[in-house]
Structure 1
Amino acid sequence: MTPAIPVVFIHGLWIHSDAWQPWVELYASAGYDPIAPGWPGDSGTAAQTRANAAGVANKGIDEITNGYFDVIRGLPAAPIVIGHSFGGLIAQKLLAAGVAAAAIAIDPGQIKGVRPLPLAQIRSALPVLSKPGNKKRAVALTRKQFRYGFGNAISATESGELFDRFAIPGPGRPLFEASVANFKKSSPAAVDTKRSDRGPLLILGGGQDHTVPAVVAQAAQKLYSGSGAVTDYQVFPDRGHSLVLDHGWREIADYTLSWLRRQGL
């Protein structure tokens, strides 16, 4: 019997890994071996992470990526990595490093080389970037900020429920690192987009996303155009940044499973 392919789900800023649980259950039922480990410093639940915000403070892109390298080293085979938001940036770094069999980046954080910077994205990042001291702190969104950045395409009631269940403080450092990536020769937000011998990559965008507007996700896909490796893009026009955890998550999950089957995975 062929062993099940490991799948590693990677959450983004401000969302606890528990939000992946429906995906974990769906992928397990589809024959994969999925896990959803948190970022370095995360606690076991959203409530515990909120109570220990200092645990996630001052963690940068490299530290978070290395945490997932450690996870992958303990797996029996190279996994499929599926990341949302900054988790999508991390997933791309893992794929480019050759430790993942394939990657799916959903509303992925901005990698070095992406040029568009829509006003909605700037507004979503302001709770962190407006105060330089936040680079070393953990920053939590307010309910209103979560509504704008994540829940703008769903009802206010559902946005509030998702905030209560899954919102956690996140380190400010990754946003600062990504925001200046294009002005630095070397950046932790850099990804080798020219590598031709990597596994397939799927980038998904949400047409109503304020935190990572679809134009940003599509611009990332275009950076891979010369690699020759499979790099697909799909936009969901009516979806916001909450697309992996709100009531419509199954549409996105089913699309990812169909894409993986097309890749023979």
Structure 2
Amino acid sequence: MKTINSKTVLFVTGNFVSHLGWATWQKHFEEQGYTTLAPAWPFKDGSPAELRATHPNKDIASLRLNQVVDYFENIIKALPEKPIIVGHSMGGLITQLLLQRGLAAAAIAIHSVPPQGVITTKFSFFKATWGPLGLFTSANNTFLMSFPQWQYAFTNGMPVEEQQKAYDENVIPESKRISRGGLTSAAKIDFKKAHAPLLFVAGSTDNIMPASLNYSNYKQYKNNHSITDFKEFEGNNHFVLGLPNWKQTADYILNWIKN
């Protein structure tokens, strides 16, 4: 068993949403003695309403996956210690890529986008990702998730008023190049390589990143000398960070880090 001694936590946001969604998680982790940071991605440092008003945003549209991974690597290299990296959705894939570069004391991938070559046949995955990929549209314009798309991909099963509040407080324009990057060699993981402890967290009602896809991702890791764990929460959709039971997920992660 490897002890995780780092007291620094880096939260990595996913696609389509603001980094401000980590605020309650940061407060909770800081109350447990951790130093936290949840940086905005390049060109995304503003309120969701402000950023939505910039759509189509040419700067955000220009972003590629490897640029964002390099951006977080530079942030990590300026820290006093390797952080525990906690990433959601595309942030979960970025977390895996940073872990592969040896930059994490430990890593938690929450409802993660899969690396290149890890696939699913679930219809909900294709329905939820078709719009964001925008395969027959220009990558020079950002993608802004519509409210119906948000309802299906992130907040399925929630009351409409809560879905609307979550949309208003979180949704921002996104780069199609980032989303498409998950299908390319920029998202390649060497699953046989030794790595720091890694935990996958999934939710049973997630439409866009199904639990079975996260489990397939988890099972790809083949290094017998490295810790890789998996946990599925019943009833959690993709809006896991903001669900009423978010603290249950956060506390499971905290206990995993400590134990």
Name the TM-score class by shorter chain. over 0.9
> How well do the aligned residues superpose, as a CA RMSD in angstroms?
1.6
TM-score (norm 1): 0.91
Report the counterpart of residue 213 of structure 1 in structure 2.
Answer: 210
1:84: how far off? 0.3
Alignment equivalent of 2:139, drawn from 122, 132, 135 = 135
How far residue 193 of structure 1 moved from its aligned partner, in angstroms, is 1.7
2:251 corresponding residue in structure 1:
254
1:129: Cα distance to partner? 2.8
Match of 2:107 among 103, 109, 117: 103
Instruction: Give the 5 Å matches for 1:1-265.
Output: 5-52=7-54, 53-179=57-183, 181=184, 187-196=185-194, 198-262=195-259
Q: Work out whether residues 6 and 84 of structure 2, in 8 Å CA contact, stay in contact via their aligned partners in 1.
A: no
Q: Which moved more, 1:22-31 or 1:221-230?
A: 221-230
Between the two proteins, the alignment pairs up a number of residues equal to: 253
Offset of residue 227 of structure 1:
4.4
What is the Cα deviation at residue 44 of structure 1?
2.6
Superposed CA deviations along residues 5-40 of structure 1, whole A, max 9, x for unmatched, are 211101111110000000000111101100100112
Question: CA–CA distance in 1 between the matches of 2:140 and 2:242?
Answer: 28
Structure 1 residues 70 and 48: CA distance shift in structure 2, 3 A:
farther
Kept after mapping to 2: 8 A contact 1:40/1:63? no
Query: Any gaps of 5 or more consecutive residues in structure 1?
Result: 182-186
TM-score (norm 2): 0.93
Q: Is the Cα–Cα contact under 8 Å of residues 16 and 167 in structure 1 kept in the other structure?
A: yes
For residue 85 of structure 2, what is the amino acid of its counterpart?
V
C-alpha distance after superposition, 1:44-90 (max 9, x if no partner): 32222223333311211101101101111211100010000000000
| SS of match in other structure, 2:258 | helix
| Distance in 2 separating the partners of 1:4 and 1:17 | 22
CA contact (8 A) 1:193 1:227 kept: no
Identity over aligned residues, as a percent? 29
Which one-letter code corresponds to 1:144 in the other structure?
P
Structure of higher RCO (CA pairs closer than 8 Å, 6+ residues apart): 2
After TM superposition, give the deviation of residue 236 of structure 1 in Å: 0.9
8 Å contact kept, 1:112–1:178:
yes
The one-letter amino acid paired with 2:171 is A
Distance 1:64 1:165 in 2: 23
Q: Is the 8 A contact 1:28 1:34 kept in 2?
A: yes
Q: CA deviation at 1:137?
A: 2.6
1:156 Cα offset (Å): 1.8
C-alpha offsets along residues 198-219 of structure 1, whole Å, 9 cap, x if unaligned? 2100001111101101111001
Change (3 A) 1:141 1:229: same
Deviations 1:238-261 (A, max 9, x none): 111001122221111111101101
Q: Distance in 2 between matches of 1:134 and 1:248?
A: 38
AA matched with 2:15: L
- Partner letter of residue 227 of structure 2? V
Show structure 2 runs of 5+ residues with no match.
none
CA contact (8 A) 2:110 2:200 kept: yes
Relative to structure 1, is the Cα distance of residues 228 and 112 closer, same or farther in structure 2, using a 3 angstrom cutoff?
A: farther
Q: More deviation in 48-57 or 76-85?
A: 48-57
